[in-house]
Amino acid sequence: MKKLILTYGIIAGLIVSAMLVFTFTGSSLDMEHSELMGYATMIIAFATIFIAIKSHRDKVLAGKITFGNAFKIGLGITLMATLIYIVSWFIISNTIAKDFMADYFQQSIEQLKASDLSETEVTAKIEEMEKFQELYKNPLVKFGMTFLEIFPVGFIVSLISAFLLKRKVE
């Protein structure tokens, strides 16, 4: 089972990492569309969870798997892919995307100013964003935020896949 998790976790991790590289090297997508593309890529990458569970159930376990075992496989793949994604983001954000936070901050300010919010509300939101921008410089905060981008997607795909693929073990 470890080999299965490693193999499919690496595949999923490479898919989401390739999306990151594409986004910051060759893409002309704006932040909003990049985010949408990112989450769509995560779902595609985490399709490996369904494939891995089904393959393991059918080829190794004679067509039977408990929800718990299926979920463990999904969670293992999710953790592996998440780790690869985080490492990739740390590398990319310290090399080719050094200005990401500043660009994101600037684009967010422009959107706030174009919104229907009052000047007081805009100022308050900008101050909040400045605090977050400062916090994000801390590697532990950056790690946590990056983890929270991808892990919940894999967790949900793991739950759904385990539920759909479970078969009673007698």
Q: How far apart are CA 21 and CA 62, in angstroms?
A: 40
Specify if 106 maps to a domain: no
Specify if 94 maps to a domain: yes
Specify if 12 maps to a domain: yes
Region for residue 63 given its phi and psi (left: phi exceeds 0; alpha: psi -120 to 50; beta: otherwise):
left
pTM of the model: 0.87
Structural domain harbouring 20: 2-98+150-165
Q: Residue 75: is its pLDDT beyond 80?
A: yes
Number of structural domains the chain divides into = 1
Give the residue with greater pLDDT, 132 vs 112.
Answer: 132
* 9: Cβ contacts below 8 Å, ≥ 6 apart: 48, 76, 77, 78, 79, 80, 81, 84
* pLDDT score at 31: 66
Average pLDDT over residues 28-52: 86
Specify if 33 maps to a domain: yes
The chain-wide mean pLDDT, for the chain, equals 90
Specify if 136 maps to a domain: no
Average pLDDT over residues 90-110: 85
